[in-house]
Amino acid sequence: MTPPPARRIRAAGAPRNNLPRRGAVRRSQMITTYGVGSLIAVDNESFIVSGIDDADRSWDRDEAPVIHEHRLARVLKVDHFRLPPASDDASKDGIRVRRFPLWHSCPECDSLQHVRDFNPPPGKNICTDCEEDLVPSRFVMACEHGHIDDFPYWKWAHRHNREDGGSGHCGGEMRLRTSGRTASLRSILISCTCGAPEVSMEGAFRRSALADLKVRCSGKRPWLKGAPAEHCAEPPRTLQRGSSIVWQPILKSALSIPPYSGGLAADLDGHWQNLRGFSNPGEIAGYLKGAFNGKKVPSLDAVLELLAAENHEEAATPDESRGQDGPYLALRRQEYARLCDGNSERAQDRAEQFICEEPATDSSFLRPLGLDTPMLVKRLREVRALKAFSRVTVPEANLEVHEAALSLKPTNWLPAMEVHGEGVFVRLDEERLDKWAASVAVAARADRIHANHQRALRERASDPQQVPDSPASPRMVLLHSLAHALINEWSLDAGYPASSLRERLYADDSMAGLLIYTATSDSAGSLGGVVAQGEPDRLSKALRAAMRRAEWCSADPLCIETEATGTSSTNLAACHGCMMLPETSCEHNNGLLDRALLIGTPEDPAIGFFHNALAL
């Protein structure tokens, strides 16, 4: 979060709503870090970001423009997306927040109570007795269904001297102080003036700590204005207010590819329903002439191409959308086909947002390394939409988590961000890949990862009869490990920080490729450095260097010989010393990795797909 700007006096009559400005964050952070339902600290205060029920009306269209990504909108069943508002002191409105948690303490008198009981003056958050800034509660309780509430301090302090299930009040005043002896929870002491013994917060983070107190989930959703409490049977957990698992975004993304990448789809917004009702080109041409009267009329051929592409998607969706991830797999297959076919810059105008070409130099010498001809993605646009969020559990690849809603009522749009950048698309030689994957030793390693991941999916599934299948296969684990190795190598060779690069995997029976592209929306996104790494001679050198680097890890021999590691034991030979990436760069939360499938093991080098590359 960026530091909040200095308070300035607003121009008279500028704001539509007389709401105080509390701070500022980057626009992209409203999708990835401080989205709807998240907690955000500003100076000595804490807030929860409000839902989007009223945002369509309160967000100014100039500050929060509508963006379009037709394929992603169809999958998410919305009409469009909107960027979070880039507001300033003269703006009419902005991102709205609500105070949370509501329990505060005074560092001077140690009083611990609801913020309203301090009776602070309007616009201030101070203890009226001491005139000291109040400190928001460091602890909250939340459940896996997304509910969140204040920590039950009264019940925690009186847990040894009240009847089971009792929730009455003793009439005393709560106190919170820190002994200062250690930095642990043992030094945070809670007491009550009723005479209850002083207790520490030690043990509050045990998984069953609140359940032992007969504390149940309150079902509250404070980010949604006027939302009634829901019945919830999930056990609540104590969390630190700033913990990453208090809020985890559930993001869905898609690349803009032809025919939707030229801007025509956005121009036709509001006309799609009418265009679908026409049966012949003459009717469509007449409608366009009338609808764009006085403006540049879109090309009839381009509009017909868009309608044909949409009809093709509608026909293909029922077959490709089996299972929870079916629609997203269909998106990947469309992108894979376009990345393989390319989209020459010479045949496009300047509005085209997807340019993908083969290198100008010969790439045949990459064949012995197991690579097909790379594609240089000189221009791309990715839209990332915030679909929902989760608490307590981290959304991982194919793992089922409860999706907490962004609004009380369904909306026809979602908040999103767009990234313009560049990348390199790398494909493996499928004939050689199939032959390698048929090896018994290779299949055995992949099967171990698959079994561990499948067990994690089974444990997380709400319905044991509908457990999604793990995507872990020799092909997928190899592509994922290769993407990590190349990103780490390029971060050293090309000067890009690893956090500014991102992987996008295309791995199933019909796909065997990966896209490494710039993942930031700043100037590092389109300087040409990533595309340059895709030139055949540079890619060959980078691949060999990455494989030599993967031969040895600072944690070897433990790393290369490990039987299972990582979250839910979904990795084999992979650790922070060799394979891990920043969480913003990896699609699978640093799981489903094994560098032994790249370079082999000391006992069996042949199981490595690239083991021969080291000798070339």
Confidence of residue 517 (pLDDT cuts 50, 70, 90): very high
Query: Averaged over 578-582, what is the pLDDT?
Result: 94
Rounded average pLDDT over 118-126:
88
What is residue 7's predicted lDDT score, i.e. its pLDDT?
Answer: 40
Please report the pLDDT score of residue 316 as a whole number. Answer: 56
Give per-residue pLDDT as tens, 337-393: 999 999 988 877 778 889 999 999 999 999 999 999 999 999 999 999 999 999 998
Q: Contact 412/57 with Cβ under 8 angstroms?
A: no
Long-range contacts of range 431-438, CB-CB < 8 Å, 24 or more positions apart?
432/370, 433/370, 433/475, 433/478, 433/512, 433/609, 436/474, 436/609, 437/473, 437/474, 437/475, 437/478
- Span 425-452, mean pLDDT? 96
pLDDT at 323: 53
Is the pLDDT confidence value at 79 over 80?
yes
Residue 309 has pLDDT above 60, yes or no: yes
pLDDT of residue 285: 81
Average of pLDDT values for 553-562? 94
pLDDT attached to residue 313: 64
Percent of the chain having pLDDT more than 70?
89
Summarize the confidence of residues 534-550 as an average pLDDT: 94
Q: What is the pLDDT of residue 528?
A: 65
Q: How confident is the model at residue 325 (pLDDT cuts 50, 70, 90)?
A: low
Q: What is the pLDDT of residue 310?
A: 72
pLDDT mean over 27-35? 91
What pLDDT score does 17 carry? Answer: 57
Residues 34-51 have pLDDT tens digits of 999 999 998 889 999 999
> Which pLDDT score is estimated for 246?
95
Cα 327 from Cα 196, distance rounded (Å): 57
The average pLDDT across 172-198 equals 89
The pLDDT value given to residue 274: 77
Q: Is the pLDDT of residue 219 over 70?
A: yes
**53 versus 10: which is more confidently predicted?**
53
pLDDT tier, 542 (very low <50, low <70, confident <90, very high otherwise): very high
Q: Are 238 and 213 in contact (CB under 8 A)?
A: no
* Of the candidates 463, 452, 469, the residue with the CA atom closest to the CA atom of residue 594: 452
Q: Which residue has the tokens 């920080």?
A: 497
67-76, 87-96, 139-148, 569-578: the lowest-pLDDT one? 87-96
- Contact between 192 and 172 under an 8 Å Cβ cutoff? The reply is yes
Confidence check: pLDDT of 12 > 60: no
Better pLDDT: 319 or 263:
263
Q: Please determine, for residue 582, whether its predicted confidence score (pLDDT) is greater than 70.
A: yes
Residue with structure tokens 């509005």? 351
- pLDDT at 552 exceeding the cut of 80: yes
pLDDT of residue 20: 73
Q: What is the pLDDT of residue 252?
A: 94
Comparing 110-119, 147-156, 163-172, 224-233, the range with the smallest average pLDDT is 163-172
Residue type, 31: I
Reported as a single tens digit per residue, the pLDDT across 274-289 is 777 777 888 788 888 8
Is 379 buried (19+), middle (13-18) or exposed (0-12) by CB count in 10 A?
buried
167 has pLDDT over 60:
no
| Residues in Cβ contact with 45 at an 8 Å cutoff, skipping those fewer than 6 apart | 22, 99, 125, 136
Ramachandran area for residue 51 (φ above 0: left; ψ -120 to 50: alpha; else beta) = beta
Q: Read off the pLDDT of each residue in 496-500 and give the average, rounded to a whole number.
A: 87
CA distance readout (Å), 293 to 267, 276, 288, 300, 351: 13, 20, 8, 15, 22
Share of the chain above pLDDT 90, in %: 60
Amino acid 6: pLDDT: 42
Three state DSSP letters for 271-321: CHHHHHCCCCHHHHHHHHHHHCCCCCCCCHHHHHHHHHHHHHHHHHHHHHC
**What does the pLDDT look like over 451-493, one tens digit per residue?**
999 998 888 877 777 888 899 999 999 999 999 999 999 998 8
pLDDT of residue 107: 92
- If one compares 395 and 406, the residue with the highest pLDDT of the two is 406
Q: What is the pLDDT of residue 238?
A: 96
